[in-house]
Structure 1
């Protein structure tokens, strides 16, 4: 249900930084983001275990991935979204044949409603906190290894921590436990950075960043535990920098991504030690379908 995505050397980024920057193009997954990996894997497992319906609580990339996997597997899907979910997101999820239920003013309220609506015949698909998701996400690192690239650093965006946990698992099983991870967030959606600083999970009072796909007020506990076992460097960029990263990918590689993804491009200029020391940098282009070219242009104009 997910595809093996291209691994491309970005000549533009490589020339600008004076080192090789490799892009793992998860934006080219059928649903437009890396979520297709972990969620497809989890849905397949839950179907084998007897699930008769999939239930999710995401109006973004995760909800779309569940709807897609359900259609491919022939399993009905219910996606509960908050009132703030865009009409475009609801349309995309509905196009996959899923039942879209609108409930609550926030993801937390939608999530509680989704959980309460589950029956014993249902499987609940969490957007980021499920070992089955991490196992699926880890396959992108397996693909990098098969392509013959050994990265000196891996740059990825962090929302709830699912992608990070998957990358950690993939790096471990390929013998790359010493390869540093650069975990990127935007200001106002930086629950992971604050949690690392505090030494415990910190819950944000609100998400104030435009990078709504990074909008987990609290990261999963496993992502914090991972930092105790391996090198992880946190980088926080501004919304303006994240949008600039999106525009750079659009101009140089003709791909549209969300600010949640552009943040990782912006982090290349952060100057943190693991990136200064690296010769080959792997950047996970996590994708996202929550924006378009016109929106990026508006954000860029407002910022500049």
Structure 2
């Protein structure tokens, strides 16, 4: 592994803790560490990349932010805009929970609900951002966003006393995954394998890998709405070369079970999109990947706890009843 200069950190995000999980360590059969991105000021990892992107855009003259997001990216854009004192409009799909709309308004953003899914909302955002002074913030598909997300790798390698045996990450449109992959390349740490997790019905990475290129999955019936992109970014294919990438799909029920277990074990609420990554541990997948020699037996398995905006106690209780989880 070679040393690398870290990306200049945005003052909009914080260095998140890397903490051990006793229960996940037991079920994984080796040390499990949690990278707690859910404690970021905007509630998720998104503040890293989107904050970085908006800052760079304001330096180029951006005077207004237009973003499209079902939740976490919109929160990051709204929070960043408020801190930087520029107006923001967030375009949301109709699937966005009402409490997320309230949260965005609390961040002083204007909110427009448009379209059944994020892809339709984003097309509306594009038309609204024609003004040269507007900055169009894509939730996941831009190199500056990936550069911001790559600071997670900087921190993991600095905080961990031993190189990770694997990094486990949830995948939506692929922005966080691109950040992890680019960070590993920048540090010369391409020998660290990456386990990419999705839910059934929000599995655009798995569909793309099967097809050999980004393809649309047509619709998003999964409960993990913040994983809800119809098509993964091409950047995943550009950045995955030379890195061991293992893609897996879990059920909504497995993702929710992981959220409930995580709440019991760590006293934190996270949403099902985050539960997809945690399910890799709780479901026994990490153990199976070790048996297949994909994951090294030395070093910690690092789980990216990506966020917890679209979740409440009422949600967890409702999901627990819906999936008949004991």
Fold conserved between structures, TM > 0.5: yes
Pick the aligned partner of 2:74 from 33, 40, 63.
63
Matched, 1:175 2:188: yes
In the other structure, the counterpart of 1:283 is 303
> 1:224: how far off?
2.5
Matched, 1:245 2:258: yes
Matches within 5 A, 1:77-226: 77-118=88-129, 119-149=131-161, 150-226=163-239
Q: Which structure 1 segments of 5+ residues have no match?
A: none
Contact 2:32 2:303 in 1 (8 A): yes
Q: How many residue pairs align between the two structures?
A: 304
Pick the aligned partner of 1:229 from 242, 246, 257.
242
Contact 1:195 1:224 in 2 (8 A): no
Alpha-carbon distance between aligned partners in 2 of 1:285 and 1:108, rounded to the nearest angstrom: 25
Contact 1:153 1:278 in 2 (8 A): no
Q: Secondary structure of 1:229's match?
A: coil
> 1:286: how far off?
0.2
Alpha-carbon distance between aligned partners in 2 of 1:7 and 1:41, rounded to the nearest angstrom: 22
Computed over aligned residues only, the root mean square deviation of the Cα atoms, in angstroms, reads: 1.3
**Residue 265 and residue 148 in structure 1: after superposition, are their counterparts in 2 closer, same or farther (change >3 A)?**
closer
Deviates more, 1:162-171 or 1:286-295: 286-295
> 1:168: how far off?
0.8
TM-score w.r.t. structure 2 length? 0.90
Instruction: Give every structure 1 segment of 4 or more consecutive aligned residues whose post-TM-superposition deviation is greater than 6 Å.
Output: none
Alpha-carbon distance between aligned partners in 1 of 2:252 and 2:92, rounded to the nearest angstrom: 24
Alpha-carbon distance between aligned partners in 2 of 1:239 and 1:275, rounded to the nearest angstrom: 25
Q: Secondary structure of 1:241's match?
A: helix
> 1:276: how far off?
6.9
Alpha-carbon distance between aligned partners in 2 of 1:173 and 1:208, rounded to the nearest angstrom: 36
Matches within 5 A, 1:244-283: 244-268=257-281, 269-270=284-285, 271-272=288-289, 273=292, 274-275=294-295, 277=297, 279-283=299-303
